[in-house]
Amino acid sequence: MKGRVVLVGAGPGDPDLLTVRAVRELERAEVLLYDALISPAILALASPDCERIDVGKRGDGSKGVKQSEIAELMILHARRGRAVVRLKGGDPYVFGRGAEEATALSEAGIPFEVVPGISSALAVPSYAGIPLTDRRFSSSFTVVTGHRGKEVEDERTDWEGLARSSETLVILMGTAWLPDIVARVLRGRRDPATPCAVIASGTTARQRVVCAPLHSVVEAAQHAGLTAPTVVVIGDVVRFRASLATFERRPLFGQRVLILRAADQSGELAVRLAAAGAEPVVVPLLAFAPSEQPDVLRAALERAAAYDWLVFTSANAVRFSAPWLPKLRADARPRIACIGPVTGAAAARAGLAVQLLPEGPAGPASLVEALASHGSLAGAQILLPRAGAATAELPDALRARGARVDCVEAYRNVEPPGAVAALRAAVSEQLDAVVFTSPSTVARLFAILGERELHDLAKRCALISIGPSTGAALRERGLTAVREAAEASSEGLVAALETHFAEGEHGVS
């Protein structure tokens, strides 16, 4: 198969600003070469089997891969027949060196396409409440790179001329040279009282905005401690910020939320958190591998018609079981039950007809009651494919009702490479909440941190559980201040977080 490369614009940070085409290319990428500062929520949209390669550069020179090496990597993997996505911040062709990379691919004879992205020049001021044009104040704007701000390096940018000719100036990558830029704009006879804004980490949960007159904006930005990446706006349109800024009013704005879910299951939750204004910190503590006894699983599923019920308690159980299931008619044995909406949706995608989906919070107790409502469980034959290390709570509860339960390992929970180091790095920084999506993640976190460190983490973070079983696993370890989601889904977890922080703001305990 002939490989290809797609240069994809990731936008300025908020995953909601990805184009539909960008998401589609991410989902089918086999190799992902990504810039620095790309949101973990965006990276999580790629397949767990995708090879991820950090080729990011930073303005301070502390990290980076040479441009020639990036081109070599793209060409190498494409020649191996792989689908390569080169993920670039903003738009590939707006100050992103995308043209250089496209030229290298063209000269090497590598098929490539470009997927435009939303430039930070447009999106960041909008998120800060600053329209770039308004017929009352500005009918034009100029976008310019700040890398050419320092006088001794400036041979192309006529800052003095721009000061006179451009109603609104938008400066990207100008953090380091802002004093020189402002000095030259003032030298160009721009009114020193012109409103200015310096927007750091725009469209993300770390967004900070400083507004000041042109003559004092450098001191104001330095006093606030703003660091790259920044977008600077010079012009009367900055006056709109006080009335038009809405991004900072999102319900979870600025909250850093640790997600311990497996990489291939973190994408939706991370995107929902970012949409609510939070910063998702994705540290997968679990990965999933096939059963060590695949023949046992296959044999059990091939005789599924001998059972009254086939019960799934996770989307992963569906994923690893579906390939071995025979075609099951909706009116034939076994009937299929799922513990909650996420598992039910996975079963539906696998082409399985779900006859039972309990209402209310997902958990073993509600599942048992729902099964019992469809007839006595005494003597009922139930097949339960699940994780190898799953608890005995559900099968014990079913057997207590007289059911005959066969548990079979559908998959195993394993530890991803580098998980321990990534977790310790995450907990060493500021965190506001931790979301738990399974008892397995609780057990793995406890094993890594230990009791004392886990309790210390709980003192400074909200603990949010996806459901009763996960909440019970936390309480068993002495963590009692746990809020459970009303619905076992990404949406339910975000809603629980919003409720928690809203109550905190109003002094509710």
Could you give the residue range(s) of every CATH 3.40.50.10090 domain in the chain? 256-286+416-505, 289-414
Could you give the residue range(s) of every CATH 3.40.1010.10 domain in the chain? 4-118
Distance CA 455, CA 452 (A): 5
Distance CA 395, CA 321 (A): 18
> Which tokens in the block code for residue 179?
């004093």
Distance CA 102, CA 98 (A): 6
418: left (phi over 0), alpha (psi -120 to 50) or beta: left
Tokens 């513990």 map to which residue? Answer: 339
pLDDT at 60: 47
pLDDT at 508: 41
CATH superfamily of the 122-247 domain: Tetrapyrrole methylase, C-terminal domain (3.30.950.10)
Which fold does the domain 289-414 belong to in CATH? Rossmann fold (3.40.50)
Q: What's the helix, strand, coil split of the chain in %, to 5?
A: 40, 20, 40
Closest CA to 193 of 212, 219, 213: 213
pLDDT at 228: 92
Distance of CA 15 to the CA centre of its chain: 7
**In contact, 52 and 43? CB cutoff 8 Å:** yes
Q: What class, spelled out in words, does domain 4-118 have in CATH? A: alpha beta
Check residue 46 and report its DSSP letter.
S
User: Active-site residues: which are they?
Assistant: 35, 57, 173
- Can you give the C-alpha Rg of the chain in angstroms? 27
pLDDT at 114: 97
Q: How many residues does the chain have?
A: 509
pLDDT in tens, the chain (509 residues): 579 999 999 999 999 999 999 999 999 999 999 998 898 889 988 887 789 999 987 554 455 788 899 999 999 999 999 999 999 999 999 998 999 999 999 999 999 999 999 999 999 999 999 999 998 889 999 999 987 545 555 667 889 999 999 999 999 999 999 999 999 999 999 999 999 999 999 999 999 999 999 999 999 999 999 999 999 999 999 999 999 999 999 999 999 999 998 777 788 899 899 999 999 999 988 888 899 999 999 999 989 989 999 999 988 999 999 888 876 655 567 999 999 888 999 899 888 889 999 887 777 888 999 999 999 999 999 999 999 878 888 999 999 999 999 999 999 988 888 889 999 999 999 999 999 998 888 988 999 999 899 999 999 999 999 988 899 999 999 998 899 998 888 999 999 999 999 987 544 44
DSSP 327-346: P--TTSSSEEEESSHHHHHH
> Which tokens in the block code for residue 348?
């539906």
Residues 6+ apart with CB under 8 A from 132: 122, 125, 138, 141, 168, 170, 233, 237
Burial 56-77 (b: 16+ CB within 10 A, else e): bbebeeeebbeeeebbebbbeb
161 three-class SS: helix
Residue type, 29: A
Cis before 251 (ω within 30) = no
> Which tokens in the block code for residue 186?
């003032």
* pTM beyond 0.85, yes or no: no
pLDDT at 507: 47
DSSP 246-301: -GGGSTTTT-EEEE-S-HHHHHHHHHHHHHTT-EEEE----EEEE-S-HHHHHHHH
Which fold does the domain 256-286+416-505 belong to in CATH? Rossmann fold (3.40.50)
Farthest CA pair distance, the chain: 89
